[in-house]
Amino acid sequence: MVFILGKSGCGKSTLLNLLGGLDGFDGGDVNVDGKSMKNFTAKDYDNYRNRFVGFVFQENNLLDEYTVNRNVALALDLQGEKQTAERVAEALQAVGLNEYAQHKCNSISGGQKQRVAIARALVKKPEMLLCDEPTGALDSETGAEIFTLLKDISKSTLVVVVSHDRESAEKYGDRIIELKDGEILSDSLPLNDAEKPVESASENKKEKRGTLPLKHVFGIGAGYLIAKPIRLVLCVLICIITFACVGIADTASAYDKYESIAKTMYLYNSDHISYCKNSTEFHASGAEIYNIFGNFSESEYNFVKSKIKGGRADKIYDGFDNVNISSLAYPRNVLERRFTTHGFTELDGGLVSAYGFKLLSGAYPTGYGEVVLPVNIFNGFKKFGYLAEETFNFTQADVTAINAYEDLIGKTVHISDSEFKVVGILDTGLDTDYFGNILYNDDNSYGAASNRLWDLLRYGMHNTLFLAPGYAKDVYSEGQQESGECISRIIAPFGKNRADDYANVKGFAFEEVKLADKTVISICEVRNDAIFALESTDDIMTVLPKIFLWVSVGLSVIAALFVLYYTSGVVVDKKRQIGILRALGASRGDVVKIFAAENGILTAGVIAVSTLLAAVGALILNNEFTKAFGIKAVLISFGIRQFAVLAAVAVIAVAVGVAIPIIKLLRNKPVDLIAGRK
């Protein structure tokens, strides 16, 4: 047992720090067990403190939130040893604290805490136990107990004690070294050259070391989290606001017209999607001449069908397009758009099944002069009545009331120059609840909902005539079909498979014809009510993401600065404890893990709340936009990508804010951290 005595400032603590690898030296050398420290790397020092040395400080520096047992076991963990109950119990037995194993360290006396610190050092079975004023904060009786304990330990372990207590040194010490102004004033048992040790195999113990277990990493990190509560609250609030804005910004920037169309169609419970041919003619200079819609040829239809996921594509022929049903007794020049027919298709059971339609009454058409009417047309008859004779000027006496499906079935309706016998009524899924106020009223209101209804009727199948299979073949020649004179649009099922639905919404070019002075490009475009509902939002959805982007960048910088501010405060507050952990053998990597765990907990909580806030914010923003534009649509929606972007920005911002103070912290020597020096 060696005592190092001297007045304050003489160098005794410095000498102890050099022996323990807590500080470095500029000149001379330190040889421990025949091994020079002159060329030690940072990792060598970590291993040396971890495997070779045990420390006992004047202020015991225990982790008060841990039990006595866990504080002692921590030293074993840092060595990579299993936490054997026997070794911990043995160390506590050696200091007389075995019955206090499960007590929290903040509930025991100062002398008992110092005994725990000694047990923590002993459990490592170090070659050398270094004690810096181990009784300085204790009363004389407790101090004597500690020195007696250290004396007993010195029978098997080198114990070096820095103290002002000459009386205790003379009573307990085997060797006393007295310093003055950095020089050895006296040494009661100096070694001569012959007695100096040579290279020893014990150095091999330094090769293996452990790492701080995750449960301790998170335990310590969680304790650090509340070290600066006011800073923590400010940091969390700023981060939540910032990352929520990032999520909303990415939601807005991820706006894709066609994706919004698909989501809006889901919102509308759409069961079919329409494709139209859009031909744009350009001069050779690139200037657009005009933009027109055309019909599909049979080969173009086959091409489109091959591209549609799911494989089904139905033709809507241009016959009876924009044709009024003269047998319907509605007020002329008022509600034409509601009950104007838009083409025909051939009806069979496969079509009904594919689109989820329902035959409400009657049967499928089988003959040339038979028709199944969509329920929207039937409801027109129900509201306004039926005219047996085609006439423009009719009186109420000419009108036959239609109250049920059966009232219309079997009657002849006049459409253009043709007559058809009604054999069935088909429900095509038109949202009559949403359009009820404008669908059958006698006013000519053309607001956003009315325009959307027109688009839905024009490009869907809600005002399509359903005729017998083979009808088109009788009407159109093969030449007409191939030249593109008869197929006005192509209809495909929607709402069957989400991946297919999204793919089918995307438009695609299928033809490009270059002429001498101009180029004609024909594009197959998705046309439905959702497209037109969203067209009015394109401009604002182009500008909005840019605004949110810059706001998010600015707030992210502010968030990183607040994380820096918060972490710097924690580092200052916990600097001494970090120094003690380093003295116990914790590596720089262990320190990084502790702060990573602390800020990982913080970041996870912030991401969770920010995600919820961003999702709600995106929903509110979408509702406000759709309300402002008078449409029912999905403009922006928070999804997996937005969560990933939000989380990535949060992790990066927090990492940047944490890295600066931690890098600065790790540049300090353990002795400077323990002393609280910068």
**What is the gyration radius of the CA atoms in the chain, in angstroms?**
43
Please write the tens of the pLDDT for every residue from 606-663.
Answer: 999 999 999 998 888 888 877 776 667 777 788 898 899 899 999 999 999 999 999 9
Of 45, 400, 410, 3, give the one whose Cα is nearest residue 209: 45
Please write the tens of the pLDDT for every residue from 185-237.
Answer: 999 988 775 565 545 434 444 455 567 778 778 888 888 888 888 888 999 99
SS3 state of residue 180: strand
Of the CA atoms within 13 Å of residue 274, those in its CB half-sphere come to 27
Q: How is 209-255 classified by DSSP, letter by letter?
A: -----HHHHHHHHHHHHTSSHHHHHHHHHHHHHHHHHHHHHHHHHT-
pLDDT of 3 reads: 96
- 440: its two tokens: 């059958």
Spell out the residues 6+ positions from residue 227 whose beta carbon is closer than 8 angstroms to its own.
Answer: 569, 570, 573, 574
Question: Hey, which residues does 367 pair with through a beta bridge?
Answer: none
pLDDT of 516 reads: 63
- State the span(s) of the chain assigned CATH 3.40.50.300: 2-210
Spell out the residues 6+ positions from residue 426 whose beta carbon is closer than 8 angstroms to its own.
Answer: 347, 352, 357, 358, 359, 360, 372, 373, 374, 375, 466
**Can you list the pairs that 239-242 forms with residues at least 24 positions away whose Cβ atoms lie under 8 Å?**
239/559, 239/562, 239/563, 239/602, 239/606, 239/610, 239/650, 239/653, 239/654, 240/606, 240/609, 240/610, 240/613, 241/555, 242/552, 242/555, 242/556, 242/558, 242/559, 242/610, 242/653
pLDDT of 674 reads: 81
Q: Count the Cβ atoms, other than its own, within 10 Å of residue 163.
A: 25
* 276 within 8 A of 508, measured Cβ to Cβ: no
pLDDT of 204 reads: 41
pLDDT of 202 reads: 42
* 339 within 8 A of 439, measured Cβ to Cβ: no
Q: What whole-number distance in Å separates Cα of residue 335 and Cα of residue 333?
A: 6
Secondary structure of 136-179 in the HEC alphabet? CCCCHHHHHHHHHHHHHHCCCCEEEEECCCHHHHHHHCCEEEEE
The number of angstroms, rounded, from the C-alpha of 137 to the middle of its chain's C-alpha atoms is: 51
Of 429, 487, 436, give the one whose Cα is nearest residue 461: 429
pLDDT of 196 reads: 58
Using DSSP bridges, classify how beta strands 418-427 and 412-415 pair: parallel, antiparallel or unpaired: antiparallel
Q: How is 663-674 classified by DSSP, letter by letter?
A: HHHHTS-HHHHH
* Residues with pLDDT less than 70, the chain: 82-83, 193-210, 281-292, 331-337, 392, 436, 440-449, 515-518, 529-530, 532-533, 535-536, 538-539, 629-631, 678
pLDDT of 205 reads: 44
Of 590, 643, 621, 577, give the one whose Cα is nearest residue 223: 577
The three-point CA angle 477-278-496 to 5° equals 85
* 658 within 8 A of 567, measured Cβ to Cβ: yes
CATH code: domain 2-210 is 3.40.50.300
Q: What whole-number distance in Å separates Cα of residue 98 and Cα of residue 68?
A: 9
